[in-house]
Copies of this chain bind each other. A is one copy, B any other.
């Protein structure tokens, strides 16, 4: 695979200390220091310097990063994107803290995506010599890694085409209005073997719906809830099992109002996995197979 993963999400928060408490104490991420107005965090099973960046001042997405296998891939992507008509610019090493050279892509849906091949290597918390299988002492949700994100924009179909035609992504699932009109409401895209690294939904240009962290299993979702009760973390939706992606999940907010998700289960994708189609008449089950109902805030709150 050429795009390896969603490498980082960079969001604004109203208060750095409040948000740090959330990402470090509630989610259990490792604090990786501050640089200017930003603080950095990583999951216990991540090897690179950070996967979450919070920046003081407001709420909402600043940018996202995806790590690419090689400079050759990066050059190929740059050419593909130019041909596709998407604006890009080269990033120098260090423009983004601890991140090497790369390519900044201005998505048709309005977000900024940074493609890069190097971030400072830190290592996970287990090491690579006769390691243990987990960290001994859970802390908060004990999040091992960032998983995926969902962003909004006016023309998700165009950004979907950009990801598949320029960046080697595949589409696992698509939600359309109905078979006749086939208008795209949302789409789930993967570059590796998970059901999605990024998803796109029709909505306000440039916005973030949520970013999601991986958890081990459904039991960890319950454990997350027990921690939320202590930390008074506002839950937006779930726990449930999604129809789309089959993932089990709970959505919640950081103190600034950015929506987080913890997510697990789902299924394994390959390049030959057929795309699943959903129509809006089954949307409640697509969103939540378990309850088959939709709450208002889930559909209307974007940051």
Q: Give A residues with C-beta under 8 Å from B.
A: 1, 4-5, 45, 47, 67, 69, 123, 128-134, 136-139, 144-145, 192-194, 214, 216-219, 222, 225-230, 232, 234-235, 239-243, 246, 248, 250, 265, 267-268, 270-279, 282, 285-286, 289-293
Q: Of B45, B222, B282, B286, which is within 8 A of A218 by CB?
A: B222
Say yes or no: A290 contacts B194, CB within 8 Å.
no
> How many copies altogether?
4
Say yes or no: B47 contacts A274, CB within 8 Å.
yes
Residue among A134, A139, A265, A286 facing the most chain B CB atoms (10 A cut-off): A134
Please indicate the chain B residues that have their CB under 8 angstroms from the CB of A134 in the complex.
Answer: 226, 246
Q: Of B130, B136, B193, B290, which is within 8 A of A193 by CB?
A: B193
> A242 to nearest B CB, angstroms?
8
Tell me the dominant secondary structure on chain A's binding face. loop
> A211 to nearest B CB, angstroms?
17
Say yes or no: A136 contacts B271, CB within 8 Å.
no
Please indicate the chain B residues that have their CB under 8 angstroms from the CB of A133 in the complex.
Answer: 226, 229, 241-243, 246, 289
Say yes or no: B4 contacts A271, CB within 8 Å.
yes
Please indicate the chain B residues that have their CB under 8 angstroms from the CB of A274 in the complex.
Answer: 47, 123, 128
CA gap between A139 and B250 in the complex, in Å: 25
Q: Of B214, B226, B277, which is within 8 A of A136 by CB?
A: B226
Please indicate the chain B residues that have their CB under 8 angstroms from the CB of A265 in the complex.
Answer: 216-217
CA gap between A131 and B273 in the complex, in Å: 14
10 A-B contacts (beta carbon < 8 Å) = A1-B271, A45-B267, A130-B277, A131-B243, A132-B230, A133-B241, A217-B217, A218-B219, A226-B241, A235-B291
CA gap between A267 and B276 in the complex, in Å: 25
Please indicate the chain B residues that have their CB under 8 angstroms from the CB of A214 in the complex.
Answer: 268
Say yes or no: B290 contacts A229, CB within 8 Å.
yes
Please indicate the chain B residues that have their CB under 8 angstroms from the CB of A47 in the complex.
Answer: 272-274
Please indicate the chain B residues that have their CB under 8 angstroms from the CB of A285 in the complex.
Answer: 130, 229
Say yes or no: A194 contacts B268, CB within 8 Å.
yes
**Residue of chain B at shortest CB distance from A290:** B225
Please indicate the chain B residues that have their CB under 8 angstroms from the CB of A267 in the complex.
Answer: 45, 144
Please indicate the chain B residues that have their CB under 8 angstroms from the CB of A273 in the complex.
Answer: 47
> A77 to nearest B CB, angstroms?
16
> A140 to nearest B CB, angstroms?
9
Known A130-B286, A132-B289: A5·B270 in contact at CB below 8 Å: yes
8 additional A-B pairs beyond A45-B267, A194-B268, A228-B292, beta carbons within 8 Å, are A130-B286, A133-B241, A134-B226, A137-B137, A216-B265, A222-B241, A222-B290, A239-B290
CA gap between A292 and B279 in the complex, in Å: 32
Known A137-B139, A230-B136, A241-B222: A278·B192 in contact at CB below 8 Å: no
